[in-house]
């Protein structure tokens, strides 16, 4: 889920117009054309966090209404206000009043719409029908499957994708120039890997790093990101595949205690590093399958370290050909 972000830089470097949004070219083109026509439909923005959904909604509203955008715009976070009363009171009260200015409708932005209860979504679909002449809805969610079909069928759906390295690099260099930061290519690579395409996380890491030093290095970002270094995870995997279970276990325990890294984060790092190992593809597939099984057990509440030990034991057996 998208979280309310306290980062000063998050707002400071939020794109202010369509040209500044990166990584969603096709979506930007379509939304821009709809905005120019002054006749946008209900829209559903679906995709991972930190990819520009809320930003694009805000840009659309500002382009539509200009200086009066605050008078014609209501933003609600459905994860905080998720019950049917919100739809019956706040949403309806705002939707039934006429817009100010040349645009004949207002905009209601429902962030994290997939957090709305099913009853609230049922009430919302009727509101969307009844007040179409005076109000348009823009909804954002991480999982469109959690939004009921009647709402999806009333919306134009745009699916956002994770940002690529080139998109993140472009924005990072702009921030580094304005904040007078020295950042090298290795640091940008680590930022991309740690963020997994979530640009809000990139900005938070940059802001935290800059408060320590104006010279941003890969080591500094790794320290702040609370994720295991790929080189350390690689050592663990090499020990286990070579049959040395005790060294693999001790190294893993050292990583978890020294860096205070959660087991679920270790699992993600292991899953990524498996594909960088110099082993047969079919073995990589078997190890990945086992990693998924262990991750499921951990999510269900099993002891993290015991499950990770079991994973290393299975890697040792796989290295022996068993």
CA distances from 5 to 9, 35, 77, 265 (A): 10, 27, 13, 21
The domain defined by 230-319 carries CATH number 3.40.630.30: no
Q: What pLDDT, on the 0 to 100 scale, is given for residue 3? A: 40
Q: What pLDDT, on the 0 to 100 scale, is given for residue 43? A: 94
pLDDT in tens, 7-26: 678 888 888 888 888 888 89
State the pTM of this model. Answer: 0.76
CA distances from 152 to 37, 44, 87, 96, 145 (A): 22, 7, 17, 22, 9
pLDDT in tens, 239-277: 898 888 999 888 888 888 777 778 888 888 888 888 888
Which range is least confidently modeled, 11-25, 83-97, 170-184? 83-97
Superfamily of domain 8-159: P-loop containing nucleotide triphosphate hydrolases (3.40.50.300)
Q: How many CB atoms lie within 10 A of CB 100?
A: 11
Q: Which residues, other chains included, contact 25 with Cβ-Cβ below 8 Å and sequence gap of 6+?
A: none
Q: Where are the domains of the chain?
A: 8-159, 165-225, 230-319
Burial label, 87 (beta-carbon count in 10 A; 0-12, 13-18, 19+): buried
- How far, in Å, CA of 304 to CA of 322, rounded? 24
- How far, in Å, CA of 13 to CA of 1, rounded? 21
- How far, in Å, CA of 191 to CA of 209, rounded? 11
Residue 1, pLDDT above cutoff 80: no
Question: Residue 109: what are its φ and ψ, rounded to 5°?
Answer: -105, 115
- How far, in Å, CA of 119 to CA of 113, rounded? 13
Q: Which of 258, 239, 259, 260 is nearest to 309 (CA)?
A: 239
- How far, in Å, CA of 314 to CA of 112, rounded? 39
Model confidence band, residue 160 (pLDDT cutoffs 50, 70, 90): very high
Tell me the mean pLDDT in the region 205-210: 88
Instruction: Count how many Cα atoms sit within 13 Å of the Cα of residue 268 in the half-sphere of its side chain.
Output: 14
Q: How many CB atoms lie within 10 A of CB 95?
A: 22
Residue 19 DSSP SS3: helix
Cα-to-chain-centroid distance, residue 108: 22
Average pLDDT along the chain:
85
CA distances from 238 to 47, 110, 281 (A): 35, 48, 16
Pairing of β 156-159 and β 182-183:
unpaired
- How far, in Å, CA of 78 to CA of 53, rounded? 15
Q: Provide the 8-state DSSP code for 98.
A: P
| CATH code at 165-225 | 1.10.8.60
Tell me the mean pLDDT in the region 298-314: 89
Both structure tokens of 90: 């706040």
- Exposure string of 219-241, with b = 16+ CB inside 10 Å and e = fewer, is ebbbeebebbbeebbbbbbbbbb
- How far, in Å, CA of 80 to CA of 94, rounded? 18
The answer to whether 57 and 2 have CB atoms below 8 angstroms apart is no
């Amino acid at each position: 889920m998208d979280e309310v972000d306290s980062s000063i830089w998050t707002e400071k470097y939020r794109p202010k117009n369509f040209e500044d949004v990166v990584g969603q070219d096709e979506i930007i083109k379509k939304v821009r054309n709809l905005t120019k026509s002054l006749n946008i439909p209900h829209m559903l923005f679906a995709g991972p966090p930190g990819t520009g959904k809320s930003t694009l909604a805000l840009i659309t509203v500002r382009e539509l209404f200009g200086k009066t955008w605050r008078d014609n715009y209501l933003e609600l976070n459905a994860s905080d206000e998720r019950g049917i009363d919100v739809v019956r009171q706040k949403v309806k009260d705002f939707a039934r009043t006429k817009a100010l200015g040349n645009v004949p409708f207002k905009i209601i932005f429902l962030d994290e719409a997939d957090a709305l209860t099913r009853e609230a979504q049922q009430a919302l679909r009727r509101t969307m029908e009844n007040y179409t002449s005076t109000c348009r809805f823009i909804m954002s969610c991480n999982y469109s499957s959690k939004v009921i079909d009647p709402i999806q069928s009333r919306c134009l759906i745009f699916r956002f994708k994770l940002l690529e390295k080139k998109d993140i690099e472009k924005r990072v260099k702009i921030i580094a120039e304005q904040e007078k930061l020295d950042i090298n290519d290795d640091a940008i690579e680590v930022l991309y890997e740690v963020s997994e395409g979530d640009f809000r996380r990139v900005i938070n890491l940059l802001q935290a790093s800059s408060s320590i030093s104006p010279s941003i290095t890969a080591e500094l970002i790794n320290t702040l990101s609370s994720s295991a270094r790929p080189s350390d995870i690689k050592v663990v995997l090499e020990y286990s595949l070579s049959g040395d279970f005790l060294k693999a276990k001790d190294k893993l325990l050292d990583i978890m205690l020294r860096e205070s890294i959660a087991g679920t984060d270790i699992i993600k790092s292991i899953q990524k590093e498996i594909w960088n190992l110099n082993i047969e593809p079919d073995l990589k597939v078997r190890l990945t399958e086992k990693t998924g099984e262990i991750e499921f057990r951990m999510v269900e509440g099993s002891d993290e370290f015991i499950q990770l030990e079991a994973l290393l034991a299975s890697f040792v057996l796989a290295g022996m050909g068993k």
